């Protein structure tokens, strides 16, 4: 139930807006008070009078005409609403509204209240649009920006779309949105991670050849950042040591930027003694050029050979020197059929858990937003997870780590 909860419902202009009067009715029936913030385009799809009637409050759209609604303090109403709300649901969220929220624009009541909402209050975003639009890099980038800020994104459902085509893009049914909202508003069961300290390594490392060139890999850092974000949400103190990536720091996470494997080890080492958990999600270069050249290597007619030497293994350094009670978790990226290699890494690096993922260059591995993990435990337990967004995969990995922490 949502008894006594104050909900801001943002509605943007897509065909799925026709479902929102029903959503408002269900929210009210669950005991919530609902303030509708509709964009002008939303009101092309659903009537203001309908929304005002079912919500029992005037619909707010424009910033400057938001008076005349019987509000005492119309000029600061966006601030009052930001304080008043227990949660902000935006359904449907169009590509345009996503872009405006990701950019921090605030030219209507919906986008303005998104900025005044008090920190920590859940934001639930239900994108709905044509499947090709949803898959476009711009929409996916904006979704990642909002997810990194802590917004919860409800994946659109598959089915027939307004275009007549079939595909991903439909807004989830109002019942599912309410169920998700209830979960977000429920006081979370206390996680065993609460108050624990952890180190997460993420991203690639760069190993210098000379002052302008390096060896590296395609890691985007998304998996490590998703893990750090999830653990911080569960109350852990997270030290995120990352190679060069183009990602925002998740809320509540302490981030340390490094370049090389050696720097990553030195940045993580001070936290070794006092951490409860180390998760190695970085794609650390196993080798580095033996002697990086000062300045720039100049070409000549001869072939060139570069001698590479082994880098320290950061995860193994931690795992093999840790104190009783500290957990070590790693990743093993292999090509198909490589589960035995993953098992070997679990044993050789003395890990408690290894997340095996298959590199296929499309759905799993580097630079993509999804991952299919198989979790191998030291106790022989194997959990095969389906293909999930990296955020969801991170949540499942942390779910699997929690009982291990509890046992200690
Ligand atoms: N790792 C690390 N330091 C290294 C190398 C790897 O901390 N120098 C960590 C990674 O963060 C990851 C795991 O170890 O958790 C991966 O192990 P690794 O044996 O390096 O895997 P691959 O690089 O895939 O090894 P290989 O190329 O031998 O398959």
State which ligand 1 atom lies nearest to the alpha carbon of 315.
7
Q: Range with the lowest mean pLDDT among 134-138, 191-195, 332-336? A: 332-336
pLDDT higher than 90, residue 37 = yes
Residue of 221, 260, 284, 343 best suited for mutating to test ligand 1, as the one with most atoms within 8 Å of CB:
284
State which ligand 1 atom lies nearest to the alpha carbon of 285.
8
Report residue 76 as tokens: 């600061």
The CA distances from residue 152 to 5, 140, 186, 277, in Å, are 18, 14, 14, 26
Q: Which positions are catalytic?
A: 217
Q: What is the pLDDT of residues 104-118, one digit of tens each?
A: 999 999 999 999 999
Question: How many residues are present in the chain?
Answer: 408
pLDDT score recorded for residue 93? 98
Of 120, 109, 54, nearest in space to 78 by CA: 109
Domains and CATH numbers, the chain: 6-185 (3.40.50.1950), 197-295+304-407 (3.40.50.10300)
Separation CA 155–CA 172 (nearest Å): 8
Q: What is the pLDDT of residues 201-235, one digit of tens each?
A: 999 999 999 999 999 999 999 999 999 999 999 99
Considering only residues 120 and 238, tell me which one the structure prediction assigns the higher pLDDT.
238
Distance from the first to the final alpha carbon of the chain: 36
Separation CA 79–CA 118 (nearest Å): 9
What pTM, to 2 d.p., does this model score? Answer: 0.67
Separation CA 315–CA 329 (nearest Å): 8
pLDDT higher than 80, residue 186 = yes
Q: Is 47 left (phi over 0), alpha (psi -120 to 50) or beta?
A: beta
Residue closest by Cα to atom 27 of ligand 1: 286
Q: Ligand 1 center to residue 283 CA distance, Å?
A: 7
Confidence of residue 68 (pLDDT cuts 50, 70, 90): very low
Residue closest by Cα to atom 19 of ligand 1: 345
Q: What would the mean pLDDT of 142-170 be, rounded to a whole number? A: 84
Residue closest by Cα to atom 12 of ligand 1: 331
Residue closest by Cα to atom 3 of ligand 1: 313
State which ligand 1 atom lies nearest to the alpha carbon of 282.
11
Residue of 218, 313, 350, 352 best suited for mutating to test ligand 1, as the one with most atoms within 8 Å of CB:
313
Q: Ligand 1 center to residue 284 CA distance, Å?
A: 6
Helix (H) or strand (E) holding 267: helix 261-268
Residue 51 · residue 25 · CB < 8 Å = no
Q: Ligand 1 center to residue 180 CA distance, Å?
A: 37
State which ligand 1 atom lies nearest to the alpha carbon of 329.
15
Q: Is 180 exposed, middle or buried (0-12, 13-18, 19+ CB in 10 A)?
A: middle
**CA count, 13 A, side-chain hemisphere, 408:** 16
- Ligand 1 pocket, CB under 6 A: 201, 261, 280-282, 284, 286, 311, 313-315, 330-333, 345
Q: Which pairs with CB-CB distance under 8 Å and at least 24 residues apart come from 105-108?
A: 107/63, 108/37, 108/39, 108/40, 108/61, 108/62, 108/63
Helix (H, G, I), strand (E, B) or coil at 44: helix
Residue 33 · residue 24 · CB < 8 Å = no
User: Does the CA dihedral 119-124-130-133 come out positive or negative?
Assistant: positive
Separation CA 217–CA 211 (nearest Å): 18
pLDDT score recorded for residue 406? 73
Helix (H, G, I), strand (E, B) or coil at 266: helix
Q: Ligand 1 center to residue 280 CA distance, Å?
A: 8
């395609």: which residue's tokens?
218
Separation CA 387–CA 367 (nearest Å): 15
Q: Ligand 1 center to residue 282 CA distance, Å?
A: 8
Residue of 243, 327, 330, 336 best suited for mutating to test ligand 1, as the one with most atoms within 8 Å of CB:
330
Give the rounded distance of the alpha carbon of 284 from its chain centre. 22
pLDDT score recorded for residue 371? 87
| Adjacent-strand bridge partners of 376 | 354, 382
Q: Ligand 1 center to residue 332 CA distance, Å?
A: 7
Residue closest by Cα to atom 25 of ligand 1: 332
User: Does the CA dihedral 337-338-339-340 come out positive or negative?
Assistant: positive
Separation CA 192–CA 65 (nearest Å): 48
Q: Ligand 1 center to residue 288 CA distance, Å?
A: 14
List of residues 6+ apart from 312 with CB closer than 8 A: 261, 262, 265
Residue closest by Cα to atom 28 of ligand 1: 286
pLDDT higher than 70, residue 259 = yes
Q: What is the pLDDT of residues 266-301, one digit of tens each?
A: 999 999 999 999 999 999 999 999 999 999 999 999
Query: Could you tell me whether strands 166-170 and 157-160 are parallel, antiparallel, or unpaired per DSSP bridges?
Result: antiparallel
Give the rounded distance of the alpha carbon of 330 from its chain centre. 19
Helix (H, G, I), strand (E, B) or coil at 109: helix
């Amino acid at each position: 139930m949502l008894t006594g909860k104050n909900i801001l419902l943002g509605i943007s202009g897509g065909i799925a807006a026709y479902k929102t009067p029903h959503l408002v009715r269900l929210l009210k029936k669950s005991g919530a008070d609902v303030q509708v913030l509709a964009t002008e385009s939303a009101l092309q799809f659903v009537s203001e009078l309908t929304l005002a009637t079912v919500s029992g409050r005037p619909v707010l759209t424009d910033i400057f005409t938001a008076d005349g609604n019987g509000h005492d303090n119309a000029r600061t109403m966006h601030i009052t609403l930001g304080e008043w709300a227990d949660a902000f649901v935006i359904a449907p969220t169009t590509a345009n509204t996503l872009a405006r929220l990701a950019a921090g624009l605030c030219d209507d009541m919906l986008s303005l209240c998104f900025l005044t909402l008090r920190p920590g209050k859940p934001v639930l975003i239900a994108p709905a649009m044509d499947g090709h639009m949803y898959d476009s890099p711009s929409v996916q980038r904006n979704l990642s920006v909002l997810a990194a800020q802590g917004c919860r994104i409800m994946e659109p459902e598959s089915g027939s779309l307004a275009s007549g085509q079939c595909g991903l893009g439909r807004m989830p049914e109002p019942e599912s949105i309410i169920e998700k909202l209830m979960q977000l508003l429920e006081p979370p069961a206390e996680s065993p991670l609460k108050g624990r300290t952890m180190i997460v390594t993420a991203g690639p490392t760069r190993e210098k050849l000379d002052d302008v060139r390096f060896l590296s890999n395609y890691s985007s850092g998304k998996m490590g950042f998703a893990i750090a974000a999830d653990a911080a949400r569960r109350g852990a103190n997270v030290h995120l040591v990352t190679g060069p990536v183009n990602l925002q720091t998740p809320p509540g996470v302490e981030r340390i930027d490094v370049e090389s494997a050696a720097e990553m080890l030195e940045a993580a080492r001070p936290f070794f003694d006092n951490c409860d958990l180390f998760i190695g999600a970085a794609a650390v270069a196993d080798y580095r050029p033996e002697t990086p050249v000062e300045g720039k290597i100049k070409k000549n007619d001869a072939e060139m050979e570069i001698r590479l030497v082994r880098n320290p293994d950061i995860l193994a350094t931690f795992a093999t020197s840790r104190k009783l009670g500290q957990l070590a978790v790693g990743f093993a990226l292999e090509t198909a059929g490589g589960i035995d290699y993953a098992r070997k890494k679990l044993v050789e690096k003395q890990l408690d858990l290894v997340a095996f993922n298959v590199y296929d260059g499309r759905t799993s591995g580097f630079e993509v937003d999804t991952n299919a993990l198989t979790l191998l435990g030291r106790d022989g337990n194997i959990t095969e997870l389906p293909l999930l967004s990296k955020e969801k995969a991170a949540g499942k990995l942390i779910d699997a780590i929690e009982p291990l922490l509890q046992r200690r």
